[in-house]
Amino acid sequence: MIRVIEGGVTAPRGFRAAGVACGIKRRNPALAEAPLDLALLVADQPASAAAVFTSNKAVAAPVTVSREHLGQSAGMATAIVVNSGCANACTGAAGLAVAREMAGAAAAAVGCPPDQVLVSSTGVIGAPLDIGKVRTGITHAHRELSSHGSDAAMHAIMTTDPFPKSRAVEVTTAAGSFAIGGIAKGSGMIEPRMATMLGFLTTDARVAPAVLQRALKRVADETFNAITVDGECSTNDCVFLMASGASGVEITRDDDPALLEGLRAVAGHLAREIVRGGEGATKLVTVVVTGAASDADAWLAARTVANSPLVKTAIHGGDPNWGRLVAAAGRSGAAFVLDRASVAIGPVQVFAAGVPHDDRADQAADVMKAREMTVTIDLGAGGSHTATMWTCDFSAEYVRINAEYRT
């Protein structure tokens, strides 16, 4: 049994977190308080750790350092330190040194080896990260660590996000109960292909690092890898998962249903919230592809439809333009048979067996007025393979945000 609980990333036993302001983000003169921009998540004891990272070859310094540390520590971690406001990406040897100093400062504060610290950054690409501010923030955050610190940490990792993202669940098994919690950020530059913008998950189940890694990869492919806002794969994308073992419930298999369903409940919610809060988004759209000849074809078609600017702008305008959905599926590279293909907007079938049903356009348009909607495309290839992705609409606000991001 799975039930939603409070507490976010610190709901599982054995974790404390904090979020503080250290001056990395630009301050809004209209606000009395400086924005939170550094988060620290600490396990009471060294924890099993797993991660998935961006597939972008323009990889940020924190990703390089965290990959190194997971290898050096054999999949163990004690702390995660995250800053927002500066991505520390495309910053050369100096940026790499700063990421390592960031890990070293956190390690000194919590009393663990540097390779048991994972680091992450988000914000503007190409700007130098001020290590002095980071050190000050880590000192402050260490003093503020609390088992109730998830909310502050959640706000500290945000950039253009319109709202914070958090989830926690309790999983009850025959062997006892354990918790899984998480926080995430992401609003634009989202099409992970390996992870999301930034996601941090914890559990108090006892799971060996190798098992944890395989389970995270499996769940990430179904959740964080199944979302897109704008088709852009970031330099900094990562999801970290730590397991404290404090519940006493041991998981020994990466296909354990309790672990997978619990992770899906948290990661799936966070992933959909990232899309719901996409830059300029007004609608959350579920794209379902059926009738595919292979899993690869199903995902290829779903990703093409979900990323199509013409599809996304039609959805924003409430235009039931089935032709854009057919065209996107047909150009995706997946096996596609037009005379057997179909398209539905919500429950309304607007195209079937190669024939349009424009007499149902008003019904479909009514479906598109909702904040959440589903489009279903059958590729007509006769297969049983399916894929589901989540995307959002494109609005003029997305253009405004990204046209002014650095200025």
Identify the CATH number of the domain in which residue 25 sits.
3.60.70.12
Position 27 scores a pLDDT of 80
Q: Residues 10, 147: one domain?
A: yes
Q: Residues 209, 346: one domain?
A: no
Q: Residues 231, 347: one domain?
A: no
Which pair of structure tokens corresponds to residue 277?
């809060």
Q: Residues 258, 311: one domain?
A: no
pLDDT tens by residue, 168-211: 999 999 999 999 999 999 865 555 543 347 999 999 999 999 99
Position 29 scores a pLDDT of 77
Strand positions, DSSP E, 230-316: 238-243, 250-251, 284-292
228: buried, middle or exposed (CB in 10 Å: 19+, 13-18, 0-12)?
Answer: buried
Q: Residues 94, 220: one domain?
A: yes
Q: Residues 247, 368: one domain?
A: no
Last residue of a domain, one of 276, 309, 344: 276
Q: In degrees to the nearest 10, what's the CA dihedral of 259, 265, 266, 272?
A: 140
Position 333 scores a pLDDT of 97
Last residue of a domain, one of 276, 301, 332: 276
| 83 within 8 A of 38, measured Cβ to Cβ | yes
Position 193 scores a pLDDT of 45
> Would you list the DSSP string of 184-198?
EE-SSSB--SSS-SE
Position 231 scores a pLDDT of 64
Which residues form the catalytic set?
A: 196
One digit per residue, the tens of pLDDT, for the chain of length 407 reads 999 999 999 999 999 999 999 999 988 777 778 999 999 999 999 999 999 998 888 889 999 999 999 999 999 999 999 999 999 999 999 999 999 999 999 999 999 999 999 999 998 889 999 999 999 999 999 999 999 999 999 999 998 788 899 999 999 999 999 999 999 998 655 555 433 479 999 999 999 999 999 999 999 999 998 998 766 666 778 999 999 999 999 999 999 999 999 999 999 999 999 988 877 789 999 999 999 999 999 999 999 999 999 999 999 999 999 999 999 999 999 999 999 999 999 999 999 998 999 999 999 999 999 999 999 999 999 999 999 999 999 888 877 877 776 65
User: Structural domain tally of the chain?
Assistant: 2
Q: Residues 234, 330: one domain?
A: no
Last residue of a domain, one of 250, 276, 302: 276
What domain range is 379 assigned to?
A: 284-403
Position 402 scores a pLDDT of 73
Q: Residues 107, 223: one domain?
A: yes
Look at the pTM and tell me if it is higher than 0.75: yes
Position 280 scores a pLDDT of 79
CATH no. for residue 298?
3.10.20.340
Q: Residues 219, 332: one domain?
A: no
Q: Residues 344, 246: one domain?
A: no
Ramachandran sector of residue 392 (left: φ over 0; alpha: ψ -120 to 50; beta: rest): beta
Position 196 scores a pLDDT of 41
40, β-bridge pairs = 18, 81
Q: Residues 113, 31: one domain?
A: yes
Q: Residues 350, 376: one domain?
A: yes
Position 233 scores a pLDDT of 62
